[in-house]
Structure formats: C-alpha cells, structure tokens
Amino acid sequence: MKKILLSYFIYTVIVFGYFLYFYPLESFSDTKYAAIAHAIFFSKLPLVFILLYAVITKQWIKKWQTIFQWRNRLIETSMIGLFLLLLYRLIQLPFVLFWFYVTHAVGVSHQSLLDWFWELGLDLLLLWLALTALLLVFQLLVKKTERFWPLFLWLVTIPVAVFVIYVQPVWIDPLYEDFTPLPEGDLRTSIEALTAEAGLEDATLLQVDMSEKVTTFNAYVTGIFGNARIVLWDTTLEGMNQSEILFILAHEIGHYVMHHVYWGVTGYLVFALVLLVLIARVYHAIMRKKFPHTRLYDVRAIPVLLFITMLFLTVLEPISLYVSREMEKQADAYAIEHTEELEPAIEGSIRMAVQSKSDIDPVFWVKWMRYSHPPMQDRIESIKNAIEERETK
C-alpha cells in the first residue's frame, strides 16, 4: 500500500506540474484557473480506486463487522455505505478545500464557507440514501436470482430514473437554490414568443438565485412529461443583455424541440442495461476466482462491486460526454438557425468564457474526459461560420 500511495503522490505532482507549466491553456483569463481545474480533476480520479483497493486488501469491512457487530442487514449495509462515503469525502477534502480557495481567489465564487459545508452535507445525505437503497435491492436480487439479477435491477431502475428526473426539478433542486418565476417584462415577453413558436407554451420560466454563490452565467432546461422548466441564473439576467440571453434561451429551447431530454433518458436506460451486464460478468468472474468463499450478496463483497462499477463508469464516461457534446451542437445549430442577429451570440459566448475563466480550446483528451459541451472556441467558430454563410447568400 505504501508503494501505491507513493506512486499516487508522484502522479499528482506530475499532473499539477504539467497543467501549471506545460499545458497549452487557451483562455480569456490571465489566470491559471482552468488549468488548476484540470489538474484537480485528474488528480482526484484515482482516489476512489485507491480507497476501494485498500478496503478490499486490508479487509476493513470484516474489521468493522467485528467492532460493531451489526445484527441487522439494513443497518449493516447502510452503515458500511456511510463509512465508505465518509472515507471518500475525507481523502478528497484537500482537493475540495483547495478548489474552494481557488474559486474565491479568482472571484468566480463568493459562497460562504457555512453554505458550502451545508451543500456538501446535503450531497452526502442524498448520495448515502441512494447508495443504501441500491445496495439493499442488489443484495435482495442476487440472493433471489444470482443469474438474472442485472436484468431485474435494471427493471427496478427504470421507474426510479423517470421519477427522479421528473421530481428533481420540483423537490430536490429547491433544496439547494431559491427558484422564482421569471418577472414580467420585455425579456419574458420575448422568451414566451420563442417558446410559443417552438410549441412550448406550457414550459415554466424560472430564475434561480445564484448570485450569492457565483459570478458565472448559465441557463438550463430540465423536466419531462409536461414538467418542462427553462431556468436562468440571476447572474445571467444581470450580466448579459437581452439579445445575448435570447440566444442562450434559443439553445435551451432547441433541446426541447429535438427531444433531447427524452433521448437522454432513453440513452441512459440503454447504457445502464449494458453497464449492468458488463459489471455482472466481471463481478461474478472475480468473486469466483479471488473470493470463492464469499457470497455475491455479502456486504464484504460491496467494495469489489463498487470498484468494478467505478472502473466501467470511468472508462465509458468519454462516450457519455461525446453524446452530450453532440446534443449541445444540435442545440447550438437550432439557436443559430432561429436567431436573426448573430453578433450578440458571439459577444455573449465571449462574455461567458471571460466570466467563467474557462479553457476555450482544450487538448483532445481533456475534452474527451471533461467536456459535456463543445469548447467555447468551437461554438464561437460555428457562429462565425454561420454569419459568413449568410453574408455570401
């Protein structure tokens, strides 16, 4: 274990050294903010595997069982899930605190430390409840049907996924932020004209109070089954002009028109089925070979299951990000097509990049691993190309 920790320390030094001194950063900011963000992301990446490897090889769960002597499976599974999450949060804490400092130092965030800790705690609580429920269902299904548990677990996740996506905008998001209806005025009238043209008269227009936390701009689309919501950050409303905001909204409307939310849910479910089948095959093989005396549903096998799951999620993440970037390109194309004056779109894109201090032209492997949207340089070039095409007609 000492060799692994030493190797990780050397890896982290190399990662930070590369991104701080050798990475070809393209940004409208004169800081290394985006490079530091990349360095923290790639430095944190191995942590979950190191933790789970330690838990498996050092038999920590067996030791926890000896110490606490849980007699109830519900309590045992939930507490082991909690311990693993707490350990993971603990080993991430130096990076998380460093990022908190960086975002405040460059002026991207001014969230209070108390509010920041509150959100960390809320994240932990929700993740713990979800993990506990998932593990309990997994144990029950494996115990009942060792061969077909991936299929049955997938069937269980379908209504859960739809429920979460439908309910999250209404019940979960407000736990973090304050949402209010978009006020009446020229902007709302113009937005309603856009939504009416796209056949989205039932979409709820909201603004969310983010100015107490950040200075960056954003807008997003969420909700399904008549629960559509178009949400604007109040920083966007305050820091961008109406033409720039309307282009952003046209982009979000494009997601609705092209049914990206539904395609996303469908893609997620297909991805989940393939993932569960792959995880099950590898999990069964490893347990038979390395842990032949441990039952598949035993709590001591949980770290093995989580290790395999996280490995597949990490390896397959670039595929998910690629699909997301393609959807964002389509939404950009819709916004360009339905916007008469495109110069404000360029100005707004530059303004967003300046405010977020982002890496506007990342190297390809950083884009594959991190970017759910096309890099800003690509998006600006798409708008410029559209302007040139219009001028030649």
Which tokens in the block code for residue 42?
Answer: 């790639």
CA 240 – CA 245 distance, rounded (Å): 6
| CA 70 – CA 336 distance, rounded (Å) | 60
> Are the C-beta atoms of residues 49 and 311 closer than 8 Å to each other?
yes
First-to-last CA distance in the chain? Answer: 66
Q: How many CB atoms lie within 10 A of CB 149?
A: 23
Q: Which of 252, 337, 343, 347 is catalytic?
A: 252
Is residue 249 within 8 A of residue 271, CB to CB? The reply is no
In three-state secondary structure terms, 363 is: coil
Candidates 303, 289, 285, 205; CA nearest to 245 is 205
252 belongs to the catalytic site:
yes
Q: How far is CA 341 from CA 220, 244, 335, 347, 355, in A?
A: 22, 10, 11, 11, 23
Q: What gap in Å lies between CA 291 and CA 385, rounded to an integer?
A: 58
CB 47 within 8 A of CB 92: yes
Alpha-helical (H) ranges within the chain are 2-21, 33-44, 47-57, 60-68, 73-105, 113-144, 149-167, 186-197, 234-239, 242-257, 260-290, 302-337, 343-356, 364-370, 376-392
d(CA 102, CA 247): 31
| Alpha helix stretches (DSSP H) within 22-106 | 33-44, 47-57, 60-68, 73-105
Q: Which of 99, 86, 117 is nearest to 43 (CA)?
A: 99
Rounded distance, CA 247 to CA 374, Å? 16
CA–CA distance, 214 with 233 (Å, rounded to integer): 10
Positions marked catalytic: 252
